Structure 1
Amino acid sequence: MVAVVAAKPLIRVAALCGSLRKGSYNQGLLRSAIELSKEINGLHVESVDIATLPMLNTDLEVDGTYPSAVEAFRQKIKGADSILFASPEYNFSVTAPLKNAIDWASRPPNIWADKAAAIVSAGGGFGGGRSQYHLRQTGVFVDLHFINKPEFFLNAFQPPAKFDSDGNLIDASAKETLKEVLLSLQAYTLRLQGKN
């Protein structure tokens, strides 16, 4: 008799990076997350670009409609089951592009509401930890549900090298923890959806 393994429901994860820099280590984390998700049954991670979003200005909302770049972004977030943020730290907080994206998607109707979320960060010092604290505070107001563990803060500048010259994650331990974040996000999303 052949054992049949049931496929898990597909969880679609929208991955947002707070850095617009091409060689960003946080972009490297998302590239690794996309690759690692291919090893996880029932999980699909897709990067969502926030670089084209105009700065939030409610004058750009006309008769309940948004600029095309904003509407396309909102539809990608709306269609996702959960969110993965790669949040670098600027001045002890989240970056302006990431906060701008959060604000656009929170405009009526708030499309963040009731989605599971996780945060990963790479940087100096605390590896972006302070930005995660502020992002979690914002998440409370927009009704995001963040996983608590595992936490992922990576000091990108402390030897040995964590990234190659193209900004790709090469640290095996960090990749293992990143995969644990994805598995935890998947499980939490299923729990919120009442599917496990």
Structure 2
Amino acid sequence: MASLSTVVGSQPAIKVIALCGSLRQNSSNRGLIRAATEIAKESIEGLQIEYLDISPLPMLNTDLEVDGTYPPVVEAFRRKILEADSVLFASPEYNYSVTAPLKNAIDWGSRPPNVWGDKAAAIVSASGGSGGVRSQYHLRQIGVFLDLHFINKPEFFLNAHQPPPKFDSSGDLIDAEVRAKLKSLLLALHAFSLRLKRN
């Protein structure tokens, strides 16, 4: 199915769906998605980011698949992914891996036909300790099977608890240096997405 992206200037607009592995309202990872959306609107022409809430998705259960169809909330989720050019994952680290809600969303999207295939993708993580390194590596391994094409650089790992504060009490990003790093990642995702569309 063709992407619904429009054309901006001389090149197609890139439509990015952003998913957050944390369901907490004030999560730092949600804050990264909000900041990414702002950066795209303010300073990256042709990059459109839409946050997609994964909390309504039921736990994967193939008994819910009837005659090749899925529950309406799953069908709507899959359609959004299918229509996007790229995916931005905000992936905190739980127990050395990706979170259960994010893995569940990924698994629903992988049911036939796989809606993740041949899309560009990038990962950001705000977590304790190493900043989500292990969750990102696991997500990249999952992406191999799904035919997702992750950008390799820049990588974005953020220790959200290391001073000075990077987020306010609402989970909004307040650190200018981190914001600049996030913009670099978005520029790389934009460029790689355009390259894939031309091929």
Which TM-score band (shorter chain)?
A: over 0.9
- 1:21 aligned partner: 24
1:194 positional shift: 1.3
Letter in 2 for 1:9: P
1:7 positional shift: 4.2
Letter in 2 for 1:180: S
Unmatched runs of 5 consecutive residues or more in structure 1: none
- 1:188 aligned partner: 192
1:20 positional shift: 0.2
Letter in 2 for 1:58: T
Separation in 2 of the partners of 1:70 and 1:178?
30
Separation in 2 of the partners of 1:136 and 1:176?
24
- 1:94 aligned partner: 98
Separation in 2 of the partners of 1:173 and 1:134?
27
Separation in 2 of the partners of 1:7 and 1:172?
31
Equivalence map 1:95-110=2 (5 Å): 95-110=99-114
Separation in 2 of the partners of 1:7 and 1:124?
42
1:181 positional shift: 0.7
- 2:12 aligned partner: 9
Letter in 1 for 2:113: P
Structure 1 residue 134 corresponds to structure 2 residue 144: no
Letter in 1 for 2:140: R
- Paired residues, number: 191
- 1:61 aligned partner: 65
Separation in 2 of the partners of 1:37 and 1:67?
32
Equivalence map 1:151-190=2 (5 Å): 151-190=155-194
TM-score by length of 1: 0.95
Secondary structure at the aligned position of 1:122 is classed as: strand
1:8 positional shift: 3.1
- 1:118 aligned partner: 122
Identical columns (%): 71
Residues 45-76 of structure 1, C-alpha deviations (whole Å, 9 max, x = no match): 00001000000000000000000110000011
Residues 108-151 of structure 1, C-alpha deviations (whole Å, 9 max, x = no match): 00010000000000010011111000000000000000000000
Separation in 1 of the partners of 2:90 and 2:167?
15
Equivalence map 1:17-56=2 (5 Å): 17-38=20-41, 39-56=43-60
Separation in 2 of the partners of 1:113 and 1:182?
20
Residues 92-122 of structure 1, C-alpha deviations (whole Å, 9 max, x = no match): 0000000000000000000100000000000
Letter in 1 for 2:59: M
Separation in 1 of the partners of 2:125 and 2:11?
28
1:18 positional shift: 0.2
Secondary structure at the aligned position of 1:193 is classed as: helix
Q: Is the 8 A contact 1:121 1:152 kept in 2?
A: yes
Separation in 2 of the partners of 1:14 and 1:176?
21
